[in-house]
Chain A
Amino acid sequence: MTLDDRQLTETGLPPRQTGRLLLIACGALAHEILALKRGNGWDHMDLQCLPAKLHLYPEKITEAVTEAVAEHRDSYDEIFVVYADCGTGGQLQAKCAELGVEMVAGPHCYSFFEGNDRFAAQGDADMTAFFLTDFLVKQFDAFVWRPMGLDRHPELRDMIFGNYTKLVYQSQITDPALVDKARACADRLGLAFEHRHTGYGDLATALAARA
C-alpha cells in the first residue's frame, strides 16, 4: 500500500472495512501504524486516518474524532483512538471517556514517540525545543513554513521561533536523507539541531496491548 503524504495531510485515509478493531488516527501517524501492523501481523486492525492538518486547528480534533467514532462504531468490535491530547486541553480524553473508547496516553506524539515517562523526565531541558517527527520533516513546508507565513514573510521567523533554541528531530525510521532534511529545517528556523532516534516508542506499546 502506497501512502501519499499530501493526501494524509489534506484528507486522511479511509478505512478498508476489514478487521475487528478500528484505529482512528492522525494522518501524521499512518506510516508508523501501518509499519507496526505489517511487522507484527496485526491483521485484525483496520486504520482510518483523519487529515493530519487538523493539528493546525487542535480545537477541531475532538469533534472530528467524535464523528469518526459515531460513523464506524457499529462496524467494528472495538475502536482505539490513536491521538494523544494533541493540544485539546483534555477535551479529547474527556470525550473518549464519554464515548467509551480508549486513546493513546500522553500530551502529544513527540512525547509518546520518545516514551511518555522519558519525555516528562526531560522537563526543562526540552522546554525550548521545537520537535519534528519523520512525517513532519517530510511535510515541513506544509505544516510549518507555509502555515506560519514564512514563505511570504520570512521576517516573522524570529517573532514565532525566537524563544526556541533547538530543533529536535525524533526519527522513527533510519534514513540519512531525512536527517539531512531535518538539519536543513533547523537551519531555516535558525535553531541548533539535535537528532534522537526514538523508533515507535509508546505507540508500539499501545498498539501491542491491542494485539
Chain B
Amino acid sequence: MHITKFQEELLSKAIDAGFKEAEVYYERSESFQCMIFEGEIDSYETSEDGGLGLRGLYNGKMGYAYTEKIDEDSIPFLIDSAKANADVLDEDDGSDIFEGSKEYANHTFYNEDLAKIQIPEKIELIKSIEKKVLAYDPRIVTLNYCVLQYFSGDRMLENNKGLSLKEKKNGLVIFISTVVKDGEEMKTGSFIKLTRDFSSLDADKIAKEAAEEALSNLGEQSIPAGRYPIIMRHNAAASLLATFTPIFSAENTQKDQSLLKGKVGKKIASDVFTLLDDPFHPNAASGSNFDGEGVATKARNIVSNGILETLLHNRRTAKLDGVETTGHARKASYKSTLTIAPLNMFIASGEKSRDDLIASITNGVLITDLSGLHSGTNTISGDFSVAAGGFHIRDGKISTPVKQMTIAGNFFDFINNIEEIGSDLTFLPGGYGSPSLRVKELSVTVD
C-alpha cells in the first residue's frame, strides 16, 4: 500500500474513531555495510526498511502505537492500540499535537554526491584501508573490525492540524579496530569517522591514524594510584558529556531526577565552560530542521561561561516551567515515545592545541578512551567511576601508555574543575562534541 495514501487514511480514520488530534511519523531507510577481513569481503549487508508511528490525543490523553507492516490490516491495529494506550494513562499531562512553527531553517543533511558513489567504489576504499593498515607496521596482527557503512533515510511528520514536514539524510561511517602485538603484550585501538563528503576520505591518512592509535598503546607501564591532573582527549570528553546529558533535560528536573533543578541563571561550571547545541553544525551528524514534535530547531547556548542559560525543553515541559520550548523533543524512531535530547551538543573550543595543554602538566594523565560508561555512571548524583585508557604525562610530554585504569569523580565537580579548553573540537558519530580539556584532578586507579 502506498505510504501517502496509508497516512491519509490512517489520520482520517483516527479522527473518526474519536481522536481529537493525531499525528503520523514515518521513516524509511536504506543501508549498505561491508566488513573486510584479510583482503576479502567477510560480510556484505544491504537493507531497505521503514515503519510508522501514530500519536494521538484520545479523551485528553496521548496514545501511541507503531507498525512496520504497512497494509490495510494495520490501520485498525494502530487505532485500537493507541486508544488502549491512551486509556490506561493516569491523566492528561498537557501533551498535544503541534500546529507548526512560523519558519523552518532549510539546511540540508543529504549529500547528493555521496549518494551517487557506487558500492564497488566503497568496497575498494575500505579494502585499501585494510591493506594499508596491515602494511603499516609488523606489530599489527589483524583488524578485528574494518567496516564501511553507508546509510540514507527520509522522515516525515504529518498531523491533522495541517503540519507536514519532511527531511532526508545520508552519511558514511568508517570503523576500524586494529589489533597489535609486541611479545606477549596485545592491545587494540579503534578509529571511527562519519562524513557526508566521500572525497575527504584519504585512505593513507585514515590507515596511519588507525594504526598509530593502536601502536601507541604498546609498552604499557603502571603508575601509582592517586589524584592526577588530567587532560581528557576530545573523544573521551565528548563521551562523558553524552552520558551526562540527561542532567540538562527539563523533564528530569521536573521529576527531581536532576540536580540542575532551580539552577537556570546560576553558575554551574567553570568560567571557561560554554556548552552549545547547534542543529546545523557542519561537522556534526545529528542535525535536523525540526524536532520530534515538529518545532523548528535553532542553535542555542545551554551554558555560557559557566552560567546555565536554559534546560532542554519540549512543548510540554516548557509549558510547565512557563518558558518557550527549545525544540528538543526527541523521537528516536517511529517506535519511540517522545523524550528530550539535544541535537549536536558540544563544548565550545578554546585557543590552545592539545600539545600545549599537555605541556602545562608536570605529572599527570592523558585520558584517550573511556569504557563502561553505561554502568559506571549515575546521572542523578553525577558520580562516575569508569574504566579508562591513556598515557602518563611527565614534564609536559606524553611518556608511556598506562595499564588499564579507572577514573572516578563527579560530573558536577568535573565541569567546575575544567581549567583550560583545547582548540581540537571533534564530534562523535552520535552528534556530541568536545575539544580536549584540562581538568584540575581526578582519582586514578591502575590495574
* A and B associate: no
